[in-house]
Structure formats: structure tokens, C-alpha cells
């Protein structure tokens, strides 16, 4: 490979990573990592037994950096596999993607992603916590399963949501040792809520892909029920995360952490972002604006994850909320065509 062709390949690979998506996996993983710090810094006498500190210790700066690098690159590295498996529909949905145009050699890109993913596994095994390899491998496997599951209605959304929640599990488990059960009610509630947020987020992305999914036989929710009915689903989906959280917190007592003022403020802003996202796709289920509405969709999802961080670290939560909102929009603008 010549130097020029190597630069072309590198540029096409980075473009295919679609780095604005990195905040979806990155912030989801930081929810788990911040949760771990919350437990590690909590006094031994903390009231709730499922949050009591056992052997948890604050994560070292180097370990935290490694965790963040893996989390923020996870989407892009796995996106290459997704693009490779979805070439057929992308020829209709996204004809300008590098793998479709031939700018990015499919097999070479898959090999590079495989090497990078192996590197992430090795770093986790030798420098972080070996148990964290489990959610890492689960995430990789679910990314492959998702490409097939999205053709079976709501199963695609469920698989996608669980896949992103595995990033939160990785963030927690890679942060340090823990003797407490991974499956405590509060942790399962957190993972379930993140899965819900992301399952709703990926539903909106199917509007843009409607024609290609239909032509290639991908029976997504929108293909199955049609654009007009799915417009109303978009409104329902915009209310769903906040309703589930309120019912779970106030009525079922599933979240045993006291709410703080920053969380309430960011939660209110998140609800506005979610409702506006639902309205955008109700108003523009097909057209050029359908693509550009995705920027708001991704912001609503990642900002909801940042809001969860505010439960454990209000200062970090509010910082990530606004940085995420700005940077997703900035990176999204590099994909200026509706087929991005």
C-alpha cells in the first residue's frame, strides 16, 4: 500500500466510524464508570446494602484514560462490521458511504477493526479488569446480531439497546475490583434504562433507512407498520423514557439514589430534547430533514446518558451534557449529505 493510498484508506476509515456516534457508547460507558466511583468513594456505612462499598477503589488516571479510549472508539470500530454486513441496503440508504463507493476496501477495513478490537480486549485483560472482557465481547457479538435482528421488528431495537448497555457494564467492571454482585437491582435498573433510551434512539434512525430497508427485505418497525403509523410511534417514543423513569422511581422504587438539583435540571432539558426529537420525525418522516433530524436524536440520547451521570457526579454530569450536545452537532456537520 502506497503512502497516498494509505492516507485515502485512513481518511475513509475514520469517516466510516462516524465519530458523532462515539458519544453514544462513550457516555453510556461513563455512566458505569461514574457509578463505580460513586460506590468507591461512598462511606462503608452507606444505608443501602446494594450500594455498599466492598473492595471498590477509585480508578487510577491511566486506567480511566484506557477505559475512555476504548469506550469512545468502540462504536466506530464496530461500525465497520455493521457497514460490511449492511452493504446491500446501504447501496440505497447511503450510496456515498466509503465502503459503498469503493473508497474504503471492505475486507481491509474489517481486518483493521478486528485488530483494533483484539487490542481493546488485550488491554482490558492485561491492564484493566479481566472480568470486563465479558461485556466487551457481548457488545461485539450483539453488534453482529443486530444487523440481522433489525429485520425482525422490535427485536432490532431491543438488541441495539442491550448492546449499548453492555458499554455501561464494561465501564463499571473495567473501573476496578468489586465483590458485589453484578446483578444488583439498582445496576440492572440502570442497564435497562440505558437500553430503553438507545432502543428508542435507533427507532428514529429507521426513518432515514426506510426505502433501503424495504427494498432489501429488512422488516424494521417502520417497514412493518408503514411511515404514517410510525409517525405516531415517534411521538409515543419521545414520552417513553421519562415515563418509565418516573414510574420506576416514584412508584416501584427501582432506583435507590436520591435525586439532586442538577439531575432534575438536566432531566427537564432531556425531556425537551426527547419530545422535540419525536416531533421532528412526526413532522418529517421522509425528506432531507429526516436525515438532519438525526443530529437532535443523537443529542437527546447521549444527553440522557449524561443526565444519569449527574446522579453520581453532578459537576461531571452537567459538563458532559453540554459538551456532548455541542460536539455531536459539530461532528455531525462533517457528514453534510443526507446519505451520511
Q: Residue 331 pLDDT > 80, yes or no?
A: yes
Task: Please indicate, yes or no, if residue 3 is contained in any of the structural domains.
Answer: no
Express each pLDDT in 312-324 by its tens digit.
Answer: 999 999 999 999 9
Task: Please indicate, yes or no, if residue 205 is contained in any of the structural domains.
Answer: yes
Task: Please indicate, yes or no, if residue 340 is contained in any of the structural domains.
Answer: no
Confidence category of residue 291, pLDDT binned at 50, 70, 90: confident
Buried b (16+ CB within 10 A) or exposed e, 58-81: ebeeebbebbeebbbbbbbbbbbb
Express each pLDDT in 13-66 by its tens digit.
Answer: 998 888 888 999 999 999 999 999 998 887 654 544 456 667 888 999 999 999
Task: Please indicate, yes or no, if residue 201 is contained in any of the structural domains.
Answer: yes
Q: Rounded to whole angstroms, how far apart are CA atoms 267 and 27?
A: 15
8 A C-beta contact, residue 36 and residue 176 = yes
Q: What share of the chain in percent tops pLDDT 90?
A: 60
Closest C-alpha among 202, 160, 233, 227 to residue 301: 202
Which of 236 and 188 is assigned the larger pLDDT?
236
Task: Please indicate, yes or no, if residue 247 is contained in any of the structural domains.
Answer: yes
Express each pLDDT in 227-265 by its tens digit.
Answer: 999 999 999 999 999 999 888 877 766 777 789 999 999
Closest C-alpha among 210, 252, 212 to residue 234: 210
Q: Rounded to whole angstroms, how far apart are CA atoms 194 and 190?
A: 6
Task: Please indicate, yes or no, if residue 339 is contained in any of the structural domains.
Answer: no
Write down the residue that cell numbers 410511534 correspond to: 233
Q: Rounded to whole angstroms, how far apart are CA atoms 204 and 34?
A: 28
Task: Please indicate, yes or no, if residue 337 is contained in any of the structural domains.
Answer: no
- Tell me, what's the pLDDT at 53? 65
Task: Please indicate, yes or no, if residue 125 is contained in any of the structural domains.
Answer: yes
Residue-range definition of the domain harbouring residue 286: 12-332
Report the number of distinct structural domains present in the chain.
Answer: 1
Picking from 39-48, 205-214, 272-281, 307-316, which range would have the lowest pLDDT averaged per residue?
39-48
Amino acid at each position: 500500500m502506497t503512502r497516498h493510498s494509505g492516507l485515502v484508506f485512513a481518511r475513509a476509515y475514520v469517516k466510516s466510524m462516524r465519530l458523532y456516534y462515539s458519544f453514544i457508547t462513550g457516555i453510556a460507558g461513563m455512566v458505569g464508570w461514574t457509578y463505580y466511583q460513586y460506590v468507591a468513594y461512598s462511606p462503608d456505612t452507606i444505608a443501602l446494602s446494594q450500594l455498599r462499598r466492598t473492595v471498590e477503589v477509585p480508578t487510577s488516571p491511566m486506567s480511566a484514560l484506557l477505559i475512555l479510549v476504548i469506550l469512545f472508539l468502540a462504536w466506530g470500530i464496530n461500525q465497520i462490521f455493521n457497514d460490511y454486513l449492511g452493504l446491500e441496503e446501504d447501496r440505497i440508504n447511503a450510496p456515498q458511504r466509503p465502503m459503498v463507493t469503493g473508497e474504503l476496501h471492505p475486507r481491509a477495513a474489517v481486518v483493521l477493526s478486528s485488530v483494533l478490537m483484539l487490542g481493546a480486549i488485550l488491554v482490558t485483560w492485561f491492564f484493566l479488569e479481566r472480568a470486563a472482557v465479558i461485556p466487551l465481547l457481548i457488545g461485539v457479538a450483539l453488534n453482529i446480531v443486530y444487523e440481522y435482528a433489525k429485520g425482525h421488528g422490535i427485536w432490532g431495537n431491543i438488541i441495539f439497546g442491550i448492546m449499548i448497555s453492555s458499554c455501561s457494564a464494561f465501564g463499571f467492571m473495567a473501573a476496578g475490583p468489586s465483590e458485589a454482585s453484578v446483578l444488583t437491582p439498582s445496576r440492572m435498573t440502570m442497564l435497562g434504562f440505558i437500553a430503553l433510551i438507545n432502543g428508542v434512539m435507533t427507532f428514529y434512525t429507521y426513518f432515514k433507512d426506510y426505502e433501503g430497508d424495504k427494498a432489501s427485505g429488512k422488516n424494521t418497525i417502520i417497514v412493518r407498520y408503514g411511515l404514517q403509523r410510525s409517525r405516531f410511534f415517534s411521538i409515543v417514543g419521545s414520552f417513553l423514557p421519562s415515563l418509565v423513569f418516573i414510574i420506576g422511581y416514584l412508584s416501584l422504587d427501582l432506583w435507590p439514589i436520591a435525586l439532586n438539583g442538577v439531575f432534575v435540571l438536566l432531566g427537564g432539558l432531556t425531556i425537551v430534547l426527547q419530545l422535540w426529537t419525536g416531533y421532528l420525525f412526526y413532522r418529517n418522516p421522509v425528506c432531507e430533514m429526516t436525515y438532519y433530524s438525526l443530529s437532535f436524536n443523537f443529542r437527546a440520547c447521549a444527553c440522557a446518558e449524561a443526565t444519569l451521570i449527574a446522579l453520581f457526579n453532578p459537576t461531571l454530569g452537567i459538563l458532559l451534557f453540554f459538551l456532548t450536545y455541542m460536539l455531536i452537532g459539530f461532528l455531525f456537520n462533517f457528514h453534510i449529505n443526507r446519505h451520511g
